[in-house]
Structure 1
């Protein structure tokens, strides 16, 4: 059975799961039951990690809500990795079964579904989340229950500080802030900037601080730091305050849902300077900004234009399955799942501590998003790319190394 057929079968199971369970549970990968289980407590045997039946892994994501494209793209990448691995014989000679829950983009719902994955579905490991605020909601539960969690793309450094069961495959915001600052200061030659960030969002507030510190260290001036909160739609007051200071650019460390709106309003106010942001911009929904985001840039984890064979092979296979170009979230979901499978093969057992130890000892894993080695803080050291937005489409501009 081809990878496309396997993913199509998984999608059919997803629809059954959604129709049967109100909380948005979906299953993909191999069929069959999960076998025996444990109590889900720290240090205890969870799932059927005894060597028979399916190996069950969980994923929690925003499949609905304001940032649904984040969760959908990530889940697509994970499902593709599961299908390919099962086609190649699974892990330790056993098929992988993926269970995904929709957290509706809410931290509290993240706590609910992560608990369900561990206590009811008895998963051996959890993948998720994209948003740092939702990873920070789910990670303490995984740590307490002794179940490894790998975040595909939560960049706030606090996520892995939760404990030794928590790791990630993306770079972190202190590096991402430096990437944006170096690009603005050295590549574009700017010395005067302003920022506009979401004070209620761990990702946005943290990345803003990292950028400001790095830009000032590089000799730049941050003329004003303007803030907004979740649910705000009118940014005219903040943008007017920024315009009065005459910066050369605005740093926007928010999510694409906010950035599109801010860009439109900025252009209506006559602000035509470059906008620069982070990986939260990464979504096909950027096209809704039209030409408002032209002459704008954002840091990201990969570019589909990367000529490396592993990248182009991934892009081709993803397009065959999903009929679209994979964004960075899809690539990170794919890498997170594949790194987990690699760690499973190397682990002494699939018990929580053994599996976490194997994940945390990963070195030189060849991912689509780059070479991944997990450091002592359970974060990878990786390159970043700068993408330029051209008529709503991201185009490769530069690579920035640690």
Structure 2
């Protein structure tokens, strides 16, 4: 009887010891992502990118295995907040990736601040996401940064001294980019000779374009989405405008070519990255592996999800321990880290990284250069 009891107790002790050691050897990172709901495509692409880059760099840090814990926030900010609480309190994650969209990040941020667990979004661009926060980060750059890069490129590379702006007043994104471009372009000595506006769904831009052509700008900045950009290009060329057209990442869609045809040939735009050319070794490996697995070029969301994972992995390594506060401090100290989209530095929670400039040639985007605003 005593031998049987001893054997049972020994078995329980060994089982507990193995479980404890196993737990100790695992570092848990949460993924609070939109796997279903209105913007499920975003979360799914980010999750795909995280797992793809894990195949390249591995899933071990500090001698322990990284375990990803995925919770679907259903593209809803209340669900995102609940997911954050569950990941921290129940799943005991030491850091979190996501959500993808700014509204959900704004709901998650205060929870991570209170519980002192760092969260990094791959793609949330609203400046308020990180403003006044110590534990909230992003892997993408902000719209003011992108517009500053566009203005710098226009003056230094396109030799522009005058510019016109035609932006979509129905979209905050477009208006903001136009305003930030104007501010940076004039600060660098350029002159805005005409500011015109349109609305999403407009078909006729002849009045605005005629006014712009009469002002004779060196470049036309069109920080809109691809449909309006394509239509504006078609009408501008039909009216005889021969100047340079510059846009932003809203142009990054294959529909630009199907709608714009030959009229979009030669236009430039700023982008988060270029899927045809890796800026470093890990970026090229990511592109190559993605093409091998899926037979197409990788997407921006997956690449930024991979960036978020690499930032966290590097921070945990430099922190030297799986402590959320130490990891938070290490994230903020990230400097010139090689990630999939290039090199990244974190400043006040935001990513500082190269802005890619591409040009339309032969019905496709061609890499031109990277710009780091100064």
In structure 1, distance between residues paired with 2:101 and 2:267: 22
Deviations 1:229-271 (CA, angstroms, capped at 9, x unpaired) = 6xx322536x6324323245432334xxx32244225514636
Q: Given that residues 199 and 227 in structure 1 are in contact (C-alpha distance below 8 angstroms), is that contact kept between their aligned partners in structure 2?
A: no
Larger Rg: 2
Q: CA deviation at 1:215?
A: 1.1
- In structure 1, runs of 5+ residues without a counterpart are 1-34, 37-48
Kept after mapping to 1: 8 A contact 2:226/2:255: no
User: Does structure 2 retain, via aligned residues, the 8 Å contact 1:114–1:142?
Assistant: no
Which residue is equivalent to 1:233? 201
Tell me how far 1:88 sits from its aligned partner.
4.8
Instruction: Indicate whether 1:278 and 2:248 are aligned.
Output: yes
Offset from partner CA, 1:298-346 (integer Å, 9 cap, x none): 2123323246433322211111222211244332221111111222233
Q: How does 1:183-262 map to 2 (within 5 A)?
A: 183-190=153-160, 191-198=162-169, 200-201=171-172, 203-227=173-197, 232-234=200-202, 236=204, 240-246=207-213, 247-254=217-224, 258-262=225-229
Report the TM-score when normalising by structure 1. Answer: 0.71
RMSD across aligned C-alpha pairs, in angstroms?
A: 3.5
**Residue in 2 aligned with 1:368?**
340
Q: Distance in 1 between matches of 2:69 and 2:203?
A: 41
Cα distance in 2 for residues equivalent to 1:186 and 1:309? 28
Q: 1:386 aligns with which of 357, 360, 366?
A: 357
Choose the corresponding residue for 1:77, options 33, 49, 69.
49
Equivalent position of 1:143 in the other structure: 113
Equivalent pairs counted in the alignment come to: 341
Structure 2 matches for 1:58-207, cutoff 5 A? 58-61=31-34, 65=38, 70-84=42-56, 88-89=59-60, 92-99=63-70, 101=72, 104=75, 109=76, 111-122=77-88, 123-132=93-102, 135-190=105-160, 191-198=162-169, 200-201=171-172, 203-207=173-177
CA–CA distance in 1 between the matches of 2:145 and 2:307?
Answer: 20
1:295 offset after TM fit, Å? Answer: 2.0
What runs of 5+ residues in structure 2 fail to find an aligned partner?
1-18
Partner of 1:94, secondary structure, is: strand
Quick check: which one's helix share is greater? Answer: 2
How far is 1:153 from its partner? 3.5
Q: Is the 8 A contact 2:26 2:64 kept in 1?
A: no
